[in-house]
Structure 1
Amino acid sequence: MPTDTTGVPLSAPWEDLVTSALLGTDRRPLRVEGGAAAGPAALLGSAAVHTVRRRAALRPATGAALPEPAPADPRPPLPAAARRRLAQLLADRSAPPSGGRRGVAPDLTELIPQWLASAGARGYRAPAELLPALLDAARARTDLRPHVLAFAGPRGLWLAGLNPEWKFALRASSRGRPRPVTTDPGEVGLLWEEGLFAERVALLGALREKDPGAARSLLAGTWASERAEDRLMFLDSLRSGLSGADEAFLEEALADRSRNVRSTAAELLSALPDSALARRMAARATTCVNPDRTGDVLSIGVEAPHECDAAMQRDGVVPVPPPGRGERSWWLGQLVEATPLGVWRERFGGRTAQVLVALPVADGWAGELHAAWCRAAVRQRDPHWARALLGAPSTPPANGPGTASPAERSKLLATLPPGERALWVAGFIAAHGLSDAFQLLGVCSVPWDGPLGRSVVDALDIARDAGSYPWSFSGVMGLAERCLNPAEAERLAVLTTTPDEPEGASPGAGGYWSEAFQRLVSTLRLRATMDAELARGDGTE
């Protein structure tokens, strides 16, 4: 019997070698020529010989089919300096966190969204060699996905199709995907019937922009067979270009079997002042809220609903209040927020929103009524009511005509033009400081310049001089690093020194403030450099 160089018969099955290796040669010995047991060295040597034999006998497999070539991207390439900067930002993203104090160096990770937005606005294409790192960054941070997918373009989607870890790009929302082709009715129908959910959402959005009626008809054709969660997403696409032509479809959606779909349909209908639902809600609300002339001064009388009947529920009124809310106040708020705001001007003799929100409200209903008016102003995008409910920025929030909630105020501010919004927030910060300004700043356009930028810097300077806890302002400081106009860097440089700590100040606050301002200045200068790199336009492949 032929044997290998160790004496183990060549006919010994591979499975016997594996079993002996796993159990040990003492428990499962192999026999060499003559019947003696093979030791560990002989076993390993025999396995090596058998491995060579097995590999030599393998037949070559058929090669995998090559993928289709990546599509062309006609956008211009990045300038060389900007390409190097992007590589630096992405490399810093994968670095482990340092922990402890942040120090004075800019946080490059927080500058990635801004860099991507600037590059996208200039119409550059992503460097091919950085596409994997970009997709990895978007996989880790969902807030980056819209910018990354737009910047990566068709090549990024092509590459994502080759790696399961990047499959999020293939099902991403339409905001992060190129618009599908919508000129061929046959392609439209095929994509709507057979496409992925994200592709269908993108298709519906694209059609809605070009032909709202065609988009609505497409949705109506398959509405009954769609899943509830999909119906909700599709219905949300009707917000774009919402008009009276959508009313009939939305009225039918009020009878949907999904409560969320019914609620969204009712919300959209209430945003149409001439819709039948808006008139029904107005009729209900005006039985609850009326002028009260029993005293010497005109006031607002309120009689909240005593029941939530089936008709109210069909029109989107949720019958069960959240914990801590009374039923009647809950129902009243929903009726008022769904009522066209113009109804109140008519109901109160043509008085303006500013006059109405200043009227006294009977029986302690002012908070509930004003909160509902705030929600109505946001839903109906009414800047006149938003101004009235915000009041003067110098008025303390607790004494304002509308709401003291920073979240609700930020929603009201979002209905105003960007310039007016920034001036209001600047006045608020000048009067009240930064304690309640974080959410308000979040709805202001970037970069903050002019009065808004100066008010933020001045408020930070005042807090520094007062010896306040610097970490109490870390959120605003982080926003300032990303949103202040880079031109503010030179004005801020004088604040980078360590100030004398006033009596009663937090121990070590001066050093923290100095670090924070040094980091702010260095970040603003880096942002200016990044903008200059993107503006050079000397890109090469």
Structure 2
Amino acid sequence: MTTTWAELVGTALLGTGRRGGTPEELLDAAALAVARRRAGVRTAAAGARPATAPHDPRPPLPEAARRRLSLLLADRSAGGGGGSRRGAAPNLAELLPQWLAEADARGWAAPPELLPALLDAARARTDLRPDALALAGPRGLWLAELNADWRFALRAGAPGVVPDTGDPGAVRTLWEEGLFAERVALLARLRARDPVQALELLRSGWAAERAEDRLMFLDSLREGLSLQDEPFLEQALADRSRNVRATAAELLSALPGSALAARMAARARTCVAWDPTAGRIGVEAPYECDAAMERDGVVAIPPAGRGERSWWFGQVVDAAPLATWRERFGGRTPEEVIALPVADDWQADLHAAWCRAAVRQGDASWARALLGPAPAPSTAVSPVGDPAKLLSILPAPERAEWVARFIAAHGLSEAFQMLAVCAVPWAEPLGAAVVDALDIARDAGSYPWSFSGVMGLAERCMDPAEADRAAPLAAVPAESADTSPGAGAYWAEAFQRLVGTLRLRATMLAELA
């Protein structure tokens, strides 16, 4: 009788009469194969006994939380929650990331018997890996060494793989001999602890690194970026890789005090000026993109359908420090500068560039001014730039309040990306605004599946305390001539799922506490 799982499945499908053996032998072989798979270790020729699993000093999960993790891992509908999903039951696969993050934050250790299922889940879903491997801890890494299917854990920079950054010898050894993911994780940890030491490590073998690796390493400098990084980044502007040069220029433009930012400010001042005679901002876009501009990160060739001059102009302005404009326009505030009229249809290009600059430089005052108050119901929705990105740099309570006002005025159709950048759990005004907007959409006869994305976000992001607010909407409404046939039942089902998910999240949090 065959013994590999694939062969057993083939025999079951074709029949033992064609493959040989008896049904009893097939069942015995399948039972043995299942036991081997559940053991978490692939069978092999007898060899040296593996080392004992290391001790995990963290406390074990409370019993209720352990049972919850077992249920979440048993639900293998990874990636569920799509628009076609029906039924009132919560989608457990979508709750697993939140459960793992909360368990890690509270310092619990995964039960040993669930480690194989936890590693399988992390293998299937890369979004789970950081939190799943943190929960698995040193025993998870020990187990991963014994099964090739889980070797990704050894390359993922999980706790226990990356050495203590206070040990220079171990740091140097891993940097010179480690796998790429291990080196990225090491650099990230070292950057958070000692940015100068991380930069020196990066310098040590920079010229010998592959272009794609240099790009990833350079990206790690976003954490703790400061003017101490400027000399290294200036050298990277001459890198042989175009992508590395572009990333170095982007990082330098995020440092308003850098020499590159000063060069961009000088260029921007030649393009934008106040015209007192006309009482408006005048714009004179660049007529060429010279070698110095290209070295500073300006991409010479525009995308299809975009004019060269407006393309160069936008890149120059979005790389200039925003403080340039306060000086350029007589000490005016961001709100006052944005309110100034702009000549010759250049306003959209100028404001869009300021939006990108605000996001890049993390300037909340400019983001606030560019967003303005949430548009009134009578105002057409025509946001400047990307509102979600501008919102992302505002404090979480202010972000939630702005989006709540926007939804109250304009509904949910334009708000999905904005909701996605709001801190979880959503602050009370935002959760209330989402529930009210969904209720209005239901009463207006809208199709419920048109709002499945927002409903899925609400299930994961609303404060569990909002369950009682949504509960009255879970009843099946009476259908009228204005509603689509059966839509009421679909809406009721969606609200039942929302309420059930919120209450389940509350229970999960209580179990982990």
Q: Which amino acid aligns with 2:290?
A: D
**Aligned partners of 2:81 and 2:91 also within 8 Å:** no
Match of 2:277 among 279, 282, 294: 294
Match of 1:377 among 358, 364, 367: 358
Aligned-partner SS, 2:500: helix
Runs of 4+ displaced beyond 3 Å: 94-101, 174-179, 395-402
1:18-37 → structure 2 map (5 Å cutoff): none
Distance 1:395 1:343 in 2: 31
Distance 2:45 2:159 in 1: 38
**Aligned partners of 2:358 and 2:366 also within 8 Å:** yes
Change in Cα spacing, 1:395 to 1:491, as seen in structure 2 (3 Å) is: closer
1:327 — aligned with what? 308
Deviations 1:125-168 (A, max 9, x none): 11111111111111111111111111111211222222222222
Distance 1:166 1:398 in 2: 54
Aligned-partner SS, 1:300: strand
The worse-fitting range, judged by mean Cα deviation, of 252-261 and 234-243 is 234-243
Q: Which TM-score applies when normalising by structure 1?
A: 0.83
Match of 2:334 among 325, 335, 353: 353
How far 1:399 sits from its partner (Å)? 5.7
1:382-397 → structure 2 map (5 Å cutoff): 382-395=363-376
Distance 1:95 1:374 in 2: 37
Deviations 1:406-450 (A, max 9, x none): xx2111111001111111111111111111111111111111232
Q: Which amino acid aligns with 1:458?
A: D
Which structure is larger by alpha-carbon Rg, 1 or 2? 1
1:443-454 → structure 2 map (5 Å cutoff): 443-454=421-432
How far 1:68 sits from its partner (Å)? 2.1
The worse-fitting range, judged by mean Cα deviation, of 452-461 and 391-400 is 391-400
2:144 — aligned with what? 160
Deviations 1:325-362 (A, max 9, x none): 11111111110110000001100001111111111111
Number of residue pairs matched? 469
Aligned-partner SS, 2:205: helix
Runs (5+) with no aligned partner, structure 2: 1-43
Match of 1:482 among 454, 460, 466: 460
Distance 2:494 2:282 in 1: 52
1:308 — aligned with what? 289
The worse-fitting range, judged by mean Cα deviation, of 484-493 and 433-442 is 484-493
Deviations 1:205-235 (A, max 9, x none): 2222222111111111100001111111111
Q: Which TM-score applies when normalising by structure 2?
A: 0.88
Match of 2:90 among 106, 110, 127: 106
Aligned-partner SS, 1:364: coil
Change in Cα spacing, 1:97 to 1:184, as seen in structure 2 (3 Å) is: closer
Distance 2:256 2:466 in 1: 45
1:188 — aligned with what? 171
Match of 2:75 among 89, 92, 117: 92
2:153 — aligned with what? 169
Q: Which amino acid aligns with 1:149?
A: L
How far 1:62 sits from its partner (Å)? 8.0
Runs (5+) with no aligned partner, structure 1: 1-60, 536-541
1:529 aligns with 2:507: yes
Aligned-partner SS, 2:151: helix
**Aligned partners of 2:400 and 2:427 also within 8 Å:** no
**Aligned partners of 2:464 and 2:502 also within 8 Å:** yes
Aligned-partner SS, 1:362: coil
Aligned-partner SS, 1:363: coil
Change in Cα spacing, 1:175 to 1:419, as seen in structure 2 (3 Å) is: farther
Distance 1:302 1:95 in 2: 52
Change in Cα spacing, 1:142 to 1:300, as seen in structure 2 (3 Å) is: same
Change in Cα spacing, 1:147 to 1:397, as seen in structure 2 (3 Å) is: farther
**Aligned partners of 1:414 and 1:421 also within 8 Å:** yes
Change in Cα spacing, 1:472 to 1:397, as seen in structure 2 (3 Å) is: farther
1:494 aligns with 2:472: yes
1:69-148 → structure 2 map (5 Å cutoff): 69-93=52-76, 102-148=86-132
2:449 — aligned with what? 471
Distance 2:494 2:154 in 1: 40
How far 1:170 sits from its partner (Å)? 2.0
Distance 1:271 1:214 in 2: 21
